[in-house]
Chain A
């Protein structure tokens, strides 16, 4: 569906079901340089089971208009504005990678709006490798190739996508190259590198929170995810073996099972 936030067009996948204001809202926030497509193996399930599942394209990404937002704080405010724009008072947030920084910040800023928080491959800070940052800001496609290399665990490098026939490293590459690299990945990486408030924001979070971490995640290692989770009161952790940072594709089924249990328990769907 398309709607406007701050007078700019926003695209969000609704998981194949029409948006229905009566249903509780889950917002899925993608990682650096990526799009709503990364969530396809999670959103369709929730959309068909009593929720409005909105996998948004951040401004300047995927099918959304406008320019990429330059800071995690701006993105956090923008997520709150998305909730308002679709006519809801509250939402459950799900973030991946950079999306975790955004959703942590958003939850700390708008505690009354956010009912549950699910973090995948999250950390309190994501400092960027200077060379990788420079490549992305200089529009070098090598930045995407490096990101895809580091983002997939050793097992994920061999493929084995849960959807038969899909090769996820190439699919991720294509998503990250679908818009100008320096305007998406470059801006996002800089925003991640600049963001320093993650640990402080985490201390303010009181809603039920789940961290899904992966043993082979090189970008946001388990120990970093645990450090963040330790600051969030009552936070739960699920660790996936033999999996890298792209857990939502590499182990999509496991992620969906864990997510489903957590969200339906803490933020029940509209019963049919």
Chain B
């Protein structure tokens, strides 16, 4: 258990899993806030402003937790993965530097105005700030997914003196898996956020189906679910076909295929046993696996046995994480379809089983995202940079006791901090969104200074 490589991997997996929850929520939420504020400016309907303020409080909490857990990531490459940093610094470093310069500063620079500045700068400039934060989250996704994709499908480089040197920046940034991964992840972020918004809307509708703010957010969220969930299934399929082309071992593990065969079955459930080199208790549909992966009933599918044992990812894990993701994705699409049906029946705001379904699906996006990332990251093993550097060669020479200690510290601190933060978020969600904005006080947050009050001297005067 005190193998330093395993400890360092657990620490990285733990910290990045905690981290990714927050950006995947804030990417979607920033765009949602952008839409809400645009609708408010267009219609001047205070219901949109109330919703904006309701979700802004939640955004502030989630964004803060994303920032502090993200800074940890930017240093952990060096603390725990020094040889990896030396090998990839010239390639991945600039992508991350671009992320900092084009995204992090943009988000942080305008976040203060977005959170606290409505009364100071006025609605138009405030909307600009919201827009900049939303754009920043998407820029961030662009660069970090480019960097991750290069680790999955490295192109555009040569190896010189034991480190990767770039030959074509275009080929590095737009490496083969990047477009698919970017689309899949950004859609996942939007879908995850829509499911959270839908669940919160459903929660308030279950209490009071006349709640107008709840109706608006529930309806918007269900449109997103109905449109994005099916699109995401198509995008995921295309991403999978790209993976089959560049990382066939990963797909073999995901599918639980050990033997290379023509007309391979689709294994619905089973227990891939790495030692026995077979998937036990398999429940399968003949030939469907080949059909899905090659779009041909008799297509040839490579199995794990075609790869040397030391080059195989752990099929037991990725087989199941992949199924969790896909299963949840299908449920999301079902929710979207159900909402369309209810809308057609004019019962979107009164259909209680739909509201309960949406409520239960609230956290499903986060679980699906984590399961998806577990699939692609564990499926990339034993490589940290696919085909170029093994994970076992990438670790820093740190004393195992130091890693064990830091891992324990991370588990304790993250559990406390993010546990409490999540509790605050849930509490904020539980408030009635209709009262997030009181037209008289014209305040962005409770206790803020009303701009129109002439008795209080204004800052800067």
Whether chains A and B associate is no
